[in-house]
Amino acid sequence: MDFSTMNIWCLLIPLLVGILCAFFGYLIGKGKDNSKEIQALQASNAKLKSDLNDCNNKLKEAHTPAPIPFDAAKAKAVFGKTIKQDDLKLVEGIGPKIMQMFQDAGIKTWKDLSETPVARCKEILETGGERYKVHDPASWPMQAKMAYEGKWKELFKWQEEHDHGKL
């Protein structure tokens, strides 16, 4: 055997072994029916997804704080007048027209306003035109949060110290 014949066999033997292994692997894999296993795994996966959704829902319920009850009597005792729940006009700087603009924008409660960024408040004011640009809503979410949480004394004190919204 000369060198070139030996070189050909060194290439042919691994090639033939690879082809035979691929062929037999295909036959072995094709002969096995995995459909029952696949169905069982799919059913297991669906159950696990359902369990995960249930856990996520329970987690959301556990972290959702109970709404804070509105106590009109306490609010009246501090402010000396009847306070209606979620009346945005209680917040210094908000009058009837601004309240309507906010309600039109989907901000209807003290809680809603307390969670609204100041930048969003400014955007809402800009929709009213030039006359509403003079208003500064920087403290509105904070005031609304005090109202929502029933911190009437703190809200009244803040408004008094800030000359009803004007520092």
Whether residue 140 has pLDDT greater than 70: yes
Residue 13 is inside which H or E element, if any?
A: helix 3-31
Instruction: Determine the pLDDT at residue 10.
Output: 80
pTM > 0.75: yes or no: no
Mean pLDDT of the region 107-126: 96
Mean pLDDT of the region 137-146: 96
Mean pLDDT of the region 116-124: 96
How many degrees, rounded to 5, is the angle at CA 36 between CA 30 and CA 39?
A: 115
Tens digit of each residue's pLDDT (9 = 90 or more) over 28-50 = 777 667 788 888 889 998 998 98
Instruction: Determine the pLDDT at residue 122.
Output: 95
Pairwise CA distance, residues 147 & 154, whole Å:
9
Pairwise CA distance, residues 51 & 89, whole Å:
46
Instruction: Determine the pLDDT at residue 95.
Output: 95
List, in order, residues 6 or more apart from 132 with CB less than 8 Å away: 98, 101, 125, 126
If you write DSSP's letter for every residue of 42-98 in order, what string do you get?
A: HHHHHHHHHHHHHHHHHHHHHHSPPPPPP-HHHHHHHHSS---TT-GGGSTT--HHH
Secondary structure letter of residue 139 according to DSSP? G
Instruction: Determine the pLDDT at residue 67.
Output: 80
- Residue 20 amino acid letter: L
Whether residue 126 has pLDDT greater than 80: yes
Among 92, 89, 38, which residue's Cα sits nearest to residue 102?
Answer: 89
**Domain-wise residue ranges, the chain:** 3-63, 72-161
Among 94, 104, 91, 98, which residue's Cα sits nearest to residue 148?
Answer: 91
Among 90, 88, 107, which residue's Cα sits nearest to residue 158?
Answer: 90
Mean pLDDT of the region 40-64: 85
Instruction: Determine the pLDDT at residue 167.
Output: 47
